[in-house]
Structure 1
Amino acid sequence: MLQAARLPQGHAGRPAARAARLRRTPLLRASACAGLRATRADRCSSKSPAPSAARSRREAVQLLGKPLAMDSARQRTACQAIPGSKEDEAAFNSFLTRFSATDEERQRAGEVVKTVQDALHRMPDISVSRVEPVGSFGRRTMVNDFDVDLQAYVVAFQGRTLRYPEDWQPDGALQTSIRGMVAKGLGAGGVGGVKLVTIADDPYYRHVLQVGHKNLIWEQHEMLMRPVYDNPGAAMYDQLRERADTAALTKVTQSCSDDVKRVVRVTKAWVRRLEEDGRLQGHKGAPGDPRISSVALEVLVMAANQLQFRRRAPSGYELFVEALRLIVAAVEQQEVVMVDAGEWGYRRELGERCAAKNWKDHSVRIIHPTDPTCNLARPREQRPEPDWQGLANEARQLLELMAKDTFDAVRKRSTLGLL
């Protein structure tokens, strides 16, 4: 049963409506987006030739498993593997299964997604071109008891086709009207299961953008990121651009192997439990929540996987160990964490050219796979800074235990026992 809905504030270019939170599963985010043309062009370097149509999704998947050039400190730590016995790996793999969403949760999430999609398409004054699953649900990295995010693309409102940028001005009047109508349609309109719909006043969810073309996710990504890839030294972070390109990040994460996603889930569950237990600053649901970004944790594990591929495909146990090491390196050695996202991303040297104007002076730097101006670990507007140092301390303690004992023993003696 739907417990609540939040419709974020918006002006040009990003998710416009957040709707429908389930007690056990979903938070549904509907968004409006406005359309511009884009041509497929080079994203890897401003000087290299444009990728051909033959560069397939399969190649992008392969790239996600290839190593990146790392500094000497990272090369050293990447090769200092904690040996795990077959018993340790078996115990760890069994442990991972505890964090996958249940079949019941997946079924309920699907039912709610369909409910909201159908409701949006039935609203007479709002024309929605498509609805994309995003967030952890869309990326298939959700931990049990998860939220569901949806991003809806609004192309017309009250009989008028919406244009960018003239219809998406910062005053937010249009976005307020759209969110209000969606809230009414989901709540007062009697959509099954909806108990409460509220409109959030949160700068984190204020942007709206519409794009309407064939190959929409790719073309929107290309339109948004082309200026950044063409001139990375001058590019500045833009929350509008980051949010509007959410579906591209979803594509990147979906292409990761199931083994990587399982380690993502246990890492996220462990960090959330540390927060809820008071071992890190902040806790779930607190006002001004300083929680460590879920996406940042996902990117950390993806980067750890690429580091391990310098030698061979890692087991789940080895990948978890490398993810813990990378947390320590990112916090205490100021290691810049980047992921090769294949055709959706950029080369490391291009990403580093975005540093000076965007994240060079940040204490922790975990760079967005498709947007090199975006540091996923950056301080957030109107939010306390997450406790990254506390997480590094916890990761180091866990590594010390894992170097000395079996995984089953470590789980009983460490913070993994909180799970």
Structure 2
Amino acid sequence: MSLQTSEHVDVIVIGAGQAGLSAGYFLNKHQLNYVIFDRGGVAESWKSQRWDSMTLDSPEITNLLPGESPENIQDDLFSTGKEFGKKLADFAGNNEIPVKEYHQVISLDKADDTGLFEVKTSHNGEEMIWTARKVIVASGMLNEPKIPSVSRAIPAAIKQFHSSQYRNAAQMPEGNILVVGSGRSGSAIAEDLSAAGRRVYLATSKVGRIPRRYRGKDIASWTVASGLLDVKTSDITDPAILTEHHPLVSGRGRRGHTISLQMLHKEGVTLMGRLLGYEQDKLLFGSDAVENIRFADQVSASTKQMIEGFINQYGLELPEPEFDEADVPDPDGSSAETATELDIAGSGITSIIWATGLTGSLNWMYLPVLDEQGQLVHVEGVSPIRGLFFLGFPWLRKRKSGVIYGMPEDAAYITDRLTEQ
């Protein structure tokens, strides 16, 4: 692999998703010379890590990119993953954002003598060193499939997939399917498979859920109006809140819908407890399926209680709560399967989908950017290393920092801080 001579720009942005492109929009406003690197294409994860029927969980009105106006956008329309990926690609083109696609960032360091950041990239078998005085890391830390160690004990005859590899029911082998993990991806994939007529077992987990609509408004409207998304990270006193799963809700279908474990059960999905292991041709599960159903129901109830408090505080006149079958609680956990083991042959399971999230690291950054717990060291996205900034990470500045809705505000803030240094 050959090494080409270096090139210099004012700013280097790493990652061409919604965070990196939002940064590019504001860097254009500041008239800075910059480049964005991505190991894939623009919005790569939206094109290569989403299933065919995937929709965004938030309506279009909350997914505006910098410079976009909310006028003439309905608050109950949902984009598919492919549509949003195209929107990002069009955004990059329309704003003439300079993206170097398929440029893998191998390393990021800072030279002691010049004070310049050095970014080594690889593209088509050639390596190059780029230098800049400022760097925005907008790549995130979640970019590799996370699969539990129990997967190694599963017989080779059982085909295994990560949720990022799932596209549709047709790609799956004949037979029944175990989906592990009931977060947003796992629940949506279980629903997709069940709708296609497949028999699905779902290893559940402790994840909250929220109603799609309440008192005549989409739940996203309530989270915005109530200020929930504007809660500052610095005001959080319980660290556990910073790592909570996003609650279940679906944007699939007209106006989206509430998704609950008991709803999946009614659609034919068998609800198991957490997957614990595999021994003697049997899959072993915990007895926590009932607890997981109740927890999700409690989160929905507390969310509606919060909304009612907001309505009362401001004296709003709104329609009464509409009936939502998927939101009806299951206090007895009657939707849960009582068995804690499944015989592979007897259950007919021929494939497993691991909806167990993503992992990754920043070990390509040869800089002291993490603390002893492996967390980013920064203050509202500004690193103590002069000239280094972060964007698009969960809870970077506020609750909304990790979602599309919060990207324009955070990108404007970070690029403003960048120009001040």
Tell me the TM-score normalised to structure 1 length.
0.29
Q: Pick the structure with more helix per residue.
A: 1
Larger radius of gyration: 2
